[in-house]
Structure 1
């Protein structure tokens, strides 16, 4: 008995490194592949075993997750950060689709929308994933498209479907029945009580198989005609965006009421661009540009650098409050200043990422109470410029009175979990209700793909779009994206993100890379809409400030804020407006912390799982090995060797 107590004490005092995790950490000498589904991780492992590098493996995992409908499909969008060991540089890949011809604010206002719709052909931007995959593979991979797509093609010919995806099809069948091509693919037992496939059933996608086969055929024909490897892969790209695949996609989209044209597909292309980055205590943290919400994490780190987080203690009242207030300020800037930088020459991002701007924003934090009226700042003076949008900020304040809003009965879609309510909103929810649709979304969500190899290639991808219930475009087998809903229709909401043909919406999708001493340190990603950079911020701090391993950090309790404008879900202002002070805490939050937060003006709710499944890789320079972490919150899975 004494021995057991002594052992327990020793495990406790050795610190966080000794803490047990629900899933084992992953260790590899040669490579690491982590993503949203076990079969997709296996596709990455198979590709590594063929001799591919981390880019090849990441593309194979991306293709597999699309084929498995892991809350994305081939009609969705792909965002990536790649560390190139040959140049020592981080590369950003922008493979987000564009708004189609005719997608104007007035078009949607005439239909009674405050935002574009959530589902169906009118929610679609042009597909970006296929083009992004081809571009990454051609530029930075080593294998052929045929080799990289082999697992996905095998799966399209029939794979044993898992319960989560099958159940999503069943739950969404009322939507699916509206779209003839989706109905033919997803409802394999029409007229029966359960019309979707059952778990373990072999799920066949003949049309998608034909589409992927056509892409490989285009590549192989080009190779036989003595084209280079890169030229051959781009021949497959051209068949998808300009050839017979494109024609059928457009026909099927327009037949069902969509707007995408052949010209829209032909003029779209993936963009390789410079990532944004800041230095946090000697660590260079990289995110994509402000067409994503990624800079919100960078802004938050700049603000938090002004506080002693480690001294506050992990998830202490002071730490939670400081984190919440910081995120409120960063999200307020995101909601007003982020959007497609290629459409607006007045980008504010340089000012938003200024250390001086962050110091001044940090001074706004009230240490005793939540600031329900936290709003966008003015970053332009930090760039030596005058803000051209001050009049929109004044108009924006009239959209909703967030400062005096009560929490109400609304739970944003990214936070509609089984909640045990506490305090003055106890009467809003029944404690024993279970929102199975949310739990499914939390556990699956937007997929992340993380890969690294011994040569030094490191890849972080956060793909999404075309999720279930998806509207399939004709006989292509490709589900169309739903990303158009992330646009706004009025400049007062965000002058940078007003919908226009050819423009990219501001998305929540946000891969992450960090370098230390000039070498890869971490790559990490997560699903979860507006919660993504909230979760990733806390993951990063868990590792850097609190000394957790990547596996510990992926499983650690997070907080979520709803004091932000939602990027997804609902077509009215009321559906999307912020809920000041609304906070989701883990069930294990102490009673002392709960009471203190209530007194500070927070409206508390609780859940067992308070983040989406985080996937991460740590490059251990001391031992020359690779660590993988995959959260215990879903089916995400990793394989290392």
Structure 2
């Protein structure tokens, strides 16, 4: 449903005035709950969360059930992918970070991929695969913070694997990708049940059966139940299921099937892997604590952007005015330039300068570089090292790429960074790489547990590893092979790629304030940043904020897709705006040096939970496109 520019302007004025008139303007109603809230990217998966809450489970149990269900439904992720989570523990009043990202396998080196003619690890196939992370992430979260058994939590996913009516979106992806799927015998067996017919994939509404995946999940539950019969504790029993997946017969078939098709990971790679529980990174914005995962994700980019934007009076600029959009775009570009050069796996050398990157003094220095009247097409990474008492060892490398290290305001730079001299264009292929989606999982309960997850990996067209029914991750493509691009994110065995996946939690006055996440590749933290500001600066409700028109910058290196450097290079000044943006705002942006691309929906899809402490209730929001939604009680 579209509204005229005049009606949009009137509605916007009402919103900025704090009027309740917009309460019914959203295309989806907000969700309300007193006891619990379960939101994710698939309606059937949200029902899985509701069913587990109905069994007496907490938010961690429900989140794991939703994650397991979405992994079984294929078009956005699968069981061989990766999981990134933030959990608020009401007992300790602390936020916990779960790193269940798989690692590069044995033999995954720059030299190996270059010998195959790659400039980046490939987008698809066995060589794109990191080791599976999601099964271990589910087991860890459930064992440490859940209350139910693995059998109870996996029950909805196992019912789906036994057969569910497949949606048109997923079925059509199988059909449109069938030429690629046919390269991999185990994928062909699962995704193309009508081989040889005109339509080889399932039809929408057809009961889609995954016998091999059901057998794998059954083996995990059997391991748990056998351990319980041996008088093991609930936690020990869940970890018995973990061990069967990563060290037992499931692992053996995973490795056999992967290597048969040209994959690299070994039994030792799986046996050595485990999820890591971390302390998340955080910053404060107007007294609100915002938490993100560490620098092996792009999450700190949002924290850096908030630190920069704190230097400006955003509310006075007006929601989505040209001045506001310009300031947002510049702040995001500064943060993305740092992300693209400095972020990587913190468990591998060299050590990322993350303390300096999140230092408020560094943000003030970066904010001073913003030209209030024009886009800077040549912005590069800054030098955060002095803000943590170190000397930057990469200054010569940065200068060789053409980056200016002048930190004085209003500096003039005539040199275009060498790697960025040729910009990408907004082809359909580019837009797919920019927006490539996954899903998100949000759960909360009246006891105070809160979970935010952005899982991914193993999306269609996935390579299934042997007779496991498990689709392998494609996350290797987020590594680089050239240290000149990012010395912290060069592929190496056992290393985690710097991913786009980025759940979020915020606390206010020591209590949960927001749980929010979104799908969409490099646009994730762009949309989450604006969602957060929509609520904090402009007083929107959680549903209004999820649907509100956002902008997206393309002045960044793409993290996904593309076999050549030219496929991933920044597009300076390119901005995606909503088609409801007034023509005078578009004209002003063009005067500032922007090239605008207009789209009808630019909000996500974002899923979020807001905590209404005044009334003791939960509000759920889910933006107005895609299948994302939830259930509250």
Instruction: Judge same fold: TM > 0.5, yes or no.
Output: yes
Residue 135 of structure 1 contacts residue 270 of structure 1 at CA under 8 Å; is this kept in 2?
Answer: yes
Structure 2: segments with no counterpart, 5+ residues: 1-6, 404-415
1:301 and 2:306 aligned: yes
Counterpart pick for 2:478 among 466, 483, 486: 486
Deviation, structure 1 residue 344: 2.0
Task: Answer whether contact 1:373 1:402 (CA < 8 A) is retained.
Answer: no
| 1:12 CA displacement | 4.0
1:564-603 equivalence runs, <5 A: 564-603=556-595
Aligned counterpart, 1:394: 399
Q: Gapped runs of 5+ residues in structure 1? A: 418-437
Shift of residue 112, structure 1, vs aligned partner: 1.2
- Aligned: 1:87 with 2:64: no
1:416 & 1:508 partners in 2: Cα distance?
12
Q: Deviations over 1:383-404 (max 9, x none)?
A: 1110012122134349964776
> Residues of 1 paired with 2:477 and 2:578: CA distance?
30
- Does structure 1 retain, via aligned residues, the 8 Å contact 2:81–2:472? yes
Tell me which of 258, 261, 276 is aligned to 2:263. 258
1:359 alignment partner, one of 357, 364, 378: 364
CA deviations 1:441-460 (Å, max 9, x no partner) are 5xxx2110000000000000
SS at match of 2:28: coil
Query: For the Cα contact (< 8 Å) 2:422–2:569, is it kept in 1?
Result: no
d(CA) in 1 for partners of 2:433, 2:269: 36
Aligned to 2:157: 152
Query: Does residue 166 of structure 2 align to residue 161 of structure 1?
Result: yes
Q: CA deviation at 1:85?
A: 0.2
CA distance change for structure 1 residues 602 and 296 in 2, over 3 Å: closer, same or farther? same
Matching of residue 341 in structure 1 with residue 346 in structure 2: yes
Q: Could you tell me which residue of structure 2 aligns to residue 59 of structure 1?
A: 64
Q: How far has the Cα of 1:611 moved from its partner?
A: 3.3
Contact 1:67 1:152 in 2 (8 A): yes
Q: Deviations over 1:274-329 (max 9, x none)?
A: 00000100000000000000000000000000001000000000000000000110
Q: CA deviation at 1:174?
A: 1.0
* Cα offset, 1:192, TM superposition: 1.5
* Contact kept in structure 2, 1:400 and 1:577, CA below 8 Å: no
Matched, 1:15 2:15: no
1:409 Cα deviation from its structure 2 partner: 5.5
For the residue of structure 2 that corresponds to 1:513, the secondary structure is strand
Does 2:199 match 1:207? no
Question: Which residue matches 1:531?
Answer: 523
Q: 1:413 — aligned with what?
A: 430
Instruction: Single out whichever of 319-328 and 9-18 deviates more from structure 2.
Output: 9-18
Query: What's the secondary structure of 2:347's corresponding residue?
Result: helix
1:143 and 2:148 matched: yes
Do 2:433 and 2:560's aligned partners in 1 also have CA atoms closer than 8 Å?
no
Match for 2:281 among 265, 270, 276? 276
1:118 aligns with 2:123: yes
Contact 2:82–2:457, Cα closer than 8 Å, also in 1: yes
CA spacing shift, 1:573–1:9, aligned 2, 3 Å: closer
The answer (yes or no) to whether the contact 1:36–1:70 under 8 Å persists in 2 is no
1:630 aligns with 2:633: no
Q: Any idea what the Cα deviations from partners look like across 1:464-520, whole Å, max 9, x if unmatched?
A: 000000000000000000000000001111010000000000000000000000000
How far apart, in 2, do the equivalents of 1:284 and 1:594 lie? 34
Aligned to 2:3: none
Cα offset, 1:194, TM superposition: 1.3
Moved more, 212-221 or 166-175: 166-175
Contact preservation (8 Å) 2:40, 2:630: yes
Offset of 1:168 from its aligned partner? Answer: 1.0
TM-score, normalised on structure 1? 0.93
Partner residue, 2:293: 288
Relative to structure 1, the CA distance from residue 338 to residue 17 in structure 2 (aligned partners, 3 Å threshold; closer, same or farther) is farther
